[in-house]
Chain A
Amino acid sequence: MTGDRGTAEAVELGCPACREVVYPGEEFCEACGQRLDPHSGSAPVRLRRCTGCAATTIDADGYCEHCGLRQPADRDHVEVELPDGAAAGVSDRGLRYSRNEDALAIAPWRGGVAVVVCDGVGSSPRPEDASEAAAETAVASLVAALDDGTDAESAMRTAIARAGDAVAALAGSPNEAPSCTLVATVVAPGAVTVGWVGDSRAYWLAASAGGSRRLTDDDSWAAAMVAEGALTEAEAEAHPNAHVITAWLGADAEDIAPHVRTHPVEGPGAVVVCSDGLWNYLPEPEQLTDVLTAASGAPPQAVPPLEAAGLLVRHALDAGGRDNVTVAVVPVPQAPAAQDAPCANSSVPPTTEQPR
């Protein structure tokens, strides 16, 4: 993620007229004769190469003019990392969808970290706009309220309401309503507050055996059937309707009643926030822990969060990547009173103040 020499050299410059490669110091393009003058608006441009055939002819619509391949959009693979490994997340298009309709937002506040994951509803128009608006709105609202001293649960309710308004505002009409799910977590010293609408999830992965648990209950048909006692969990999951969601953000949603809960957590452990692109493959918290420890040999909170999120996304892709997949990880180290753990992250104070 850092700007080393490798990435600096990877930037290719090209002629603004014909997009042939040009080199520093050249005054004219050797291919077409275009003058290369940064002061008269004909400066060399940064070349974008096709991910398929390496041609430099990518048109404004994002297609290669040589092989026709649609170029990956900015959101096809997103990695976010807070300084000092306080939290990180990865969002990926997956293998079956043409675009990433998930959105991810992570921000520090003065007592910890706020994370929002949203999953655009595929049957609605412009779901990718809905998830992006919801995630950005919610995280901004959370950080502002928390920094003002608002308690986490109130901040959460306000943030979800604002996200809901932002998504509803995208709709041309109730029949043309972009919509999405939302799960948000506020990680504070000793507690994790979660709020959600839909079937995106948060988990607590404890370092100690038996302490891991899911922090959210899906707003889904399957969950409703199980809650009513009509079906067992296995029966409900096997039903074609299992993943039909029963609540969402959008102009066509009835009164949005977010679930908000606060869970006390005693570290060490890690909070995982994800879309169903991950939990379809790994529904149980122990499975998430197993994937992380199997790959890294470390307990969940000791795996650097960007690596942890990457490992979980990779697992979903290797398992088929049928959906967009988004994973955020917030490590929660031991309480300050406890002894330092012998791992790289121990230098991070548990209540990192991030002035950014």
Chain B
Amino acid sequence: MSDQPQFTVKVDQNKYLPVGGREVHAIVSVESSGGARAGGAAAEAAEVIIIDTSGSMSYPDSKLQAAIEAAQVAVDTLRDGVHFAVIAGSNDAKLVYPGGPPLVRADAATRRKARVALARLQAGGGTAIGSWLRLADELFDAHQDGIRHAILLTDGMNQHETPDQLDAVLQRCSGRFVCDCRGVGTNWEVAELRKIASALLGSVDIVADPADLVADFQAMTEAAMGKAVADVMLRVWTPKTAAVKFVKQVMPSVEDLTGRRVEAAPQAGDYPIGAWGAESRDYHVCVEVPPAAVGTELRAAWIKLVLPGTADRAEQVLATGNVLAQWTDDEAQSTKINPRVAHYTGQAELAQAIQEGLAAREAGDLDTATARLARAVRLADEAGNDAITSMLRKVVDVVDPATGTVRLRKNVDKADVMSLDTRSTKTVRTRRGEG
């Protein structure tokens, strides 16, 4: 597979532990370069675009119109030969194009027909996102060997099915396709859409103004078309006596993967990290090891980037890296915190502080809200996360940046609160002027 990207794994850590130390932290950077877009045959890919057509999409009518235009642009952005479909979602899911399964290959004719079908969409009915995803899953069934990507657009809460129904669908769909989720307007629920995106290894974002949908859909589709390899696994081997405490994606956004572990081999678990084009992502791995004598050096984790085998291809190890532990009684060595570990630890706490602060604000617990958001202001400043700092400043007034004293703002635009909540997990790689 010469069209496959080249992967590298880099480990950043301070391997030195104090006497009796147990916790080993490391930032694992995974980078891929080259691949399908650089030339040669493109990877097999399937794309399903899901548009919310519930009744609320026509309040105002421009919302549905913007969604239709965005979906049309997404269809136009599909590479020739990509299998695709468009779904309209309300109380249940309907195929907009093609008229029935299976997916069709994109070419000038199918793209034109899809555009026409989209233009005829009308709004009506409720919101049952699980049923939309279930249809997408069925459509992806025949394409499990290639890249599988969906775009989900909604403007409301999942009111016409139970949370249990949605959870069951998410469990079923997890690992079957990647889904990027977008909420348009401000009547949808951030936590709900985040849960869907997270289960399906996709991104979540807010498009407060329907006019911005076209550009967003185009970017999302272009990114999906850039993917060259699907279903990559981060395999973490640990010593018999050690245990993985957590595995988190920390760049481009914070995503706890700990619970996604699938046992892969004795002492090794796989964490699914989805489809990859030319890009880089960072992971924070924490392993607990039993303390050993000063001078002892241990491989605390062996990181392997794995492409699982299929019927006609053996499992492939794309890159590897070592997380080490070595005990020392030299405090100058053991107390040095790796700057990247510190940087991402701070940003993971930042996301948590924002989400807790906004939840407390919503619940009317203004003291907690003020305290948590003050902490967030300080962490965002420390991390150099300017995007989050400017969003925080729309929700709180910073009285004293040095001490992190803030005051909750009155008359805050709901879109600003939702933007802050949705984007709270977005991280930056390094502070200005560092690394």
Q: List A residues at the B interface (Cβ < 8 Å).
A: 53, 61, 63-70, 93-98
Chain A proximity of B211: nearest CB distance (Å) = 55
B297 within 8 A of A: yes
Residue of A nearest to B268 (CB): A65
Q: Are A69 and B296 in contact (CB under 8 A)?
A: yes
B326 within 8 A of A: yes
From B237, B241, B326, name the one whose CB has the most chain A CB atoms within 10 angstroms: B241
Residue of B nearest to A320 (CB): B329
B328 within 8 A of A: yes
**Hey, which chain A residues are within 8 Å of B55, CB to CB?**
none
Q: Are B328 and A96 in contact (CB under 8 A)?
A: yes
Q: Are B241 and A67 in contact (CB under 8 A)?
A: yes
Q: Are A96 and B295 in contact (CB under 8 A)?
A: yes
**Hey, which chain A residues are within 8 Å of B241, CB to CB?**
67
Residue of A nearest to B296 (CB): A69
Tell me the bound Cα distance from A147 to B249 in angstroms.
65
B294 within 8 A of A: yes
Q: Are A68 and B242 in contact (CB under 8 A)?
A: yes
Q: Are A97 and B239 in contact (CB under 8 A)?
A: no
**Hey, which chain A residues are within 8 Å of B263, CB to CB?**
none
The answer, among A61, A68, A94, A95, for a CB contact under 8 Å with B239, is: A68
The answer, among A66, A94, A96, for a CB contact under 8 Å with B240, is: A66
Q: Are A70 and B297 in contact (CB under 8 A)?
A: yes
Q: List B residues at the A interface (Cβ < 8 Å).
A: 237-242, 267, 289, 294-300, 302, 322, 324, 326, 328-330
Q: Are B294 and A98 in contact (CB under 8 A)?
A: no
Q: Are B297 and A98 in contact (CB under 8 A)?
A: yes
Q: What's the dominant secondary structure at chain A's contact region?
A: loop
Q: Are B239 and A96 in contact (CB under 8 A)?
A: no
Q: Are A95 and B322 in contact (CB under 8 A)?
A: no
**Hey, which chain A residues are within 8 Å of B328, CB to CB?**
96
Tell me the bound Cα distance from A94 to B293 in angstroms.
13
Residue of A nearest to B297 (CB): A70
**Hey, which chain A residues are within 8 Å of B267, CB to CB?**
65-66
Residue of A nearest to B239 (CB): A68
Q: Are B326 and A98 in contact (CB under 8 A)?
A: yes
Chain B proximity of A188: nearest CB distance (Å) = 39
Q: Are B294 and A95 in contact (CB under 8 A)?
A: yes
Tell me the bound Cα distance from A287 to B242 in angstroms.
45
Known: A61-B299, A98-B295; 4 extra A-B contacts, CB below 8 A, are A68-B242, A68-B299, A69-B297, A70-B299
The answer, among B295, B300, B329, for a CB contact under 8 Å with A68, is: B300
Tell me the bound Cα distance from A65 to B300 in angstroms.
11
Tell me the bound Cα distance from A53 to B322 in angstroms.
20
**Hey, which chain A residues are within 8 Å of B242, CB to CB?**
68
Q: Are A69 and B298 in contact (CB under 8 A)?
A: yes
Q: Are A53 and B298 in contact (CB under 8 A)?
A: no
**Hey, which chain A residues are within 8 Å of B296, CB to CB?**
69-70
Tell me the bound Cα distance from A96 to B293 in angstroms.
10
Q: Are A96 and B297 in contact (CB under 8 A)?
A: no
Residue of A nearest to B324 (CB): A70
Q: Are A70 and B330 in contact (CB under 8 A)?
A: no
Residue of B nearest to A71 (CB): B297
**Hey, which chain A residues are within 8 Å of B329, CB to CB?**
96
Chain B proximity of A317: nearest CB distance (Å) = 11
Tell me the bound Cα distance from A136 to B253 in angstroms.
53
From A53, A65, A66, A93, name the one whose CB has the most chain B CB atoms within 10 angstroms: A65
Tell me the bound Cα distance from A65 to B237 in angstroms.
9
Residue of B nearest to A62 (CB): B299
Q: Are B295 and A97 in contact (CB under 8 A)?
A: yes
Q: Are A96 and B294 in contact (CB under 8 A)?
A: yes
Chain A proximity of B255: nearest CB distance (Å) = 27
Chain B proximity of A86: nearest CB distance (Å) = 33
13 pairs of residues in contact across A and B, judged by CB atoms under 8 Å: A53-B240, A61-B299, A63-B298, A63-B299, A65-B267, A66-B239, A67-B239, A67-B298, A69-B298, A94-B295, A96-B294, A96-B330, A98-B326
Q: Which 3 A-B pairs have the closest CB atoms?
A: A68-B239, A63-B299, A70-B297
Tell me the bound Cα distance from A53 to B289 in angstroms.
15
Chain B proximity of A94: nearest CB distance (Å) = 8
Q: Are B295 and A95 in contact (CB under 8 A)?
A: yes
The answer, among B294, B298, B302, for a CB contact under 8 Å with A70, is: B298
Tell me the bound Cα distance from A259 to B267 in angstroms.
56
Tell me the bound Cα distance from A97 to B294 in angstroms.
9
**Hey, which chain A residues are within 8 Å of B322, CB to CB?**
61, 63
Tell me the bound Cα distance from A65 to B242 in angstroms.
12
**Hey, which chain B residues are within 8 Å of A65, CB to CB?**
237, 267
**Hey, which chain B residues are within 8 Å of A96, CB to CB?**
294-295, 328-330
Chain B proximity of A234: nearest CB distance (Å) = 25
**Hey, which chain B residues are within 8 Å of A68, CB to CB?**
238-240, 242, 289, 298-300
**Hey, which chain B residues are within 8 Å of A97, CB to CB?**
295
Q: Are B240 and A67 in contact (CB under 8 A)?
A: yes
**Hey, which chain B residues are within 8 Å of A63, CB to CB?**
298-299, 302, 322
